[in-house]
Structure 1
């Protein structure tokens, strides 16, 4: 910061000194331009007659003399000589005084510029010092710059806003790592317990079959969890390719593929799709629609309904089902979050469906939101930039 302070001092001081030099030059030019004529006018009436070679001076008052006297050649020469000497002396004195004043002014200007530069850069020093102290353990600290509104105040507030986002991101990543470790540890513990219990003695064939089914089911859940984590990581990285994708056609394909599950759960799926195209990754968009519709099917009740709407605003999926607490809605789009406590039931999932939806929507420049239906269930809306 000292180098920046020196540069600002040189700039401010140089401008002030330059302004002083220009002012001194302007004063010198203006004074010297009319100085000699003014001195001549003042000197001529005061020159004695004996110095002029005249027999007698006119018998007029000095004021009248200055207006009516005729200047003889000898008188003009003497007056010219006197006025030139007086003018030169006045200009010399003016230059001397101006030079001393300019030197003092320059010193004061540099000192003032140094003080001004330090005052201007003081908030930058505060920001720099706080940024150096930041680490993972004190991300809660903020600059909170106490300064009048201006560019540096705006910079400090922007920095504080960035720290807010970083703190939220770090906290989310820490929760994600902890939840992922828990979710991955659970199936391993189940597999180990099943193996230890089932193989401790000579088990009967039906027990071996039960253990086999349990291990296969646990392995399937682990595979789905790992695939969900990989998909979430891929969507968080952004889009690697873009192409024109018909959102209505993708929705029709997904709902048709889930028709058997809907029939099994005795849930009616109502689809209303208008032709809409978006620029994006067809695989990720397929996962987005699939996760929304599958989530609406699995968190429903027999005889319930799922309403799917596709239009220029994007995709909307609404379902019947248990009542959802509105306060829990923002948390549903975080990884491993569920509207209800986990029961470890078959097909329950790991709680990654809606978080993948949110990540895919962000990757496509869109947004996602949800509202709780008054009679139970959820309405999820995904807005995506559409193609013309």
Structure 2
């Protein structure tokens, strides 16, 4: 009884055996209740006939009809002048035969019923054991699959086919839904593990480059007895490399923090954050010859103010830096969420998903973490982030962010 299959077998088998015992008892009682009357009727129509023929029938009620019961509750009265000994032989023969036949039939019925019940109990236990195995087979498959999983086979076979999936076949039910949910969880885990490995490899590569530059500048640029002008150039170069490394590290920390989810939520006026973010980038936009227009309609989101500020900053900075002289950036907030559209080079449709990959550089400087941080922060707030290229000649990209509260509001208003 230490396994679920044993417990289910005991439960199913016990219920079946109990039902068989109840059925056997009810049948035995019902047969016993009417068996004597049926036997007496059969016996009196055959055996006592010759005995009763010798008994005179004066027309009274002393001699019962051959088809009436011969077990009266009290002695039947005989008419005057009718000797009782004349009818007693018929009673005696019929009653003795009826009792003997009834006893033999009941004994036979009891023995046969007990034998059938024993076979039924054995068959019930075997059937219950088989049915419990059939019912619990998906659970065993799920357990074996979870036991086989590791970081290697979770990502799939070398041929690209996924490993460690249940893919349970059968009609819809609780266990089928459990198996499908487990497969969905494995798919999400696979994506997370793949993204983590890819992110770690990219981060190691990006951080290795500035370290190598710093080492080369220190070993080569400052070798010997450099003049003050050379030292100043090397110093400026080292500071630029350190600033770039600091931006990468801050981006990594921010990305990691947003992927862990939100610890607390508070109402944030996203429209005000967008307006302040545009003002903060106004000088850089003017230097690049880019015009920024803001249409900030009210939008309040329950989330983290620091992360949402970084989301808007990365969106606007990305739109300004990946633009062209004389271009524009349009920022809109409102019930539909956030939309940032910019002009610039034409973006091929197939490269749009790559823009959200960490360390994907498209020119314009930066560590290549801007849109990946935007997507991670959006997901932490339950939002959907989508991007679409703008057609030529304007080119550029349009990024839309839709928050859950926005979807609920639209559905409630019938839009």
Structure 2 equivalent of residue 62 of structure 1:
none
CA distance in 2, matches of 1:278, 1:28: 75
* 2:83 paired with 1:83: no
CA distance in 2, matches of 1:53, 1:67: 14
The corresponding residue for 1:221 is 244
Contact 2:267–2:302 (CA under 8 A) maintained in structure 1: yes
Contact 2:44 2:94 survives alignment (8 Å): yes
* 2:81 counterpart residue number: none
2:159 matched residue in structure 1: none
Q: Give 2:259's match in structure 1, choosing from 230, 236, 253.
A: 236
Greater shift after overlay, 307-316 or 195-204? Answer: 195-204
Structure 2 vs 1, CA of residues 294 and 68 (structure 1 numbering), >3 Å: closer, same or farther? Answer: closer
Is the Cα–Cα contact under 8 Å of residues 39 and 86 in structure 1 kept in the other structure?
yes
**SS of alignment partner, residue 46 of structure 1:** coil
Match of 2:169 among 129, 133, 147: 147
Give the equivalent residue in structure 2 for 1:34.
34
The verdict on how the C-alpha distance between 1:130 and 1:25 changes in structure 2, with shifts beyond 3 A counting, is same
**Aligned residues of 1:284 and 1:360 also touching (Cα < 8 A):** yes
Give the stretch that moved more between structures: 181-190 or 287-296: 181-190
Structure 1 position 198 matched with structure 2 position 217? no
The 8 Å contact of residues 342 and 397 in structure 2, kept in 1 or not, is answered as yes
Structure 1 residue 270 displacement after superposition: 1.3
User: Comparing 73-82 with 17-26, which one deviates more in the overlay?
Assistant: 73-82
Count, aligned residues: 376
TM-score, length-normalised on structure 2? 0.83
**Does the residue aligned with 2:405 lie in a helix, a strand or coil?**
coil
Change (3 A) 1:29 1:49: closer
Distance 2:348 2:21 in 1: 75
Aligned to 1:61: none
Question: Bigger CA drift: 13-22 or 96-105?
Answer: 13-22
Counterpart contact for 1:126–1:143, Cα < 8 Å: no
Specify whether residues 69 and 284 from structure 1 end up closer, same or farther in structure 2 by C-alpha distance, changes over 3 A only.
Answer: closer
Matched residue SS, 2:332: strand
Stretches of structure 1 that go unaligned for 5 or more consecutive residues are: 59-64
User: Could you report, residue by residue, the CA deviation over 1:186-205 in whole angstroms, capped at 9, with x for unpaired residues?
Assistant: 11111111222221132232
Of 357, 375, 384, 2:403 maps to 384
Aligned counterparts of 1:49 and 1:234: Cα–Cα separation in 2 = 105
**Equivalent-residue separation in structure 2 for 1:284 and 1:243 (angstroms):** 12
Gaps of 5+ in 2: 59-64, 71-75, 79-86, 157-162, 410-415
Deviates more, 1:149-158 or 1:35-44: 149-158
Mapped partners of 2:299, 2:233: distance in 1: 48
TM-score (norm 1): 0.89
**1:280 maps to 2:303:** yes
Q: For the Cα contact (< 8 Å) 1:44–1:76, is it kept in 2? A: no
SS in 1 for 2:331: strand
Name which of 97, 111, 116 aligns with 1:96. Answer: 111
Deviations 1:304-333 (A, max 9, x none): 010111011210000001111211222222
Work out whether residues 276 and 386 of structure 1, in 8 Å CA contact, stay in contact via their aligned partners in 2: no
Say which is worse superposed, 268-277 or 69-78, in terms of deviation.
69-78
**For 2:131 and 2:284, how far apart are their aligned partners in 1?**
73
Quote the offset at 1:384 in angstroms.
Answer: 1.3
1:187–1:222 CA contact under 8 A, matched in 2: yes
- Displacement, 1:78? 4.6
RMSD: 2.6
User: Residues 41 and 48 of structure 1: is their aligned pair in 2 closer, same or farther, counting only changes over 3 Å?
Assistant: closer
State the SS of the aligned residue for 2:272: helix
Q: 1:52: how far off?
A: 5.5
- Helix, strand or coil at the partner of 1:381: strand
Question: Does the 8 Å contact 2:354/2:360 carry over to 1?
Answer: yes
Aligned counterpart, 1:181:
204
Is the CA contact 2:258–2:377 (under 8 Å) kept in the aligned structure 1? yes
Distance between the aligned counterparts of 2:219 and 2:68, measured in 1?
135
Question: Partners in 1 of 2:356 and 2:247 — Cα distance?
Answer: 18
Change (3 A) 1:256 1:296: same
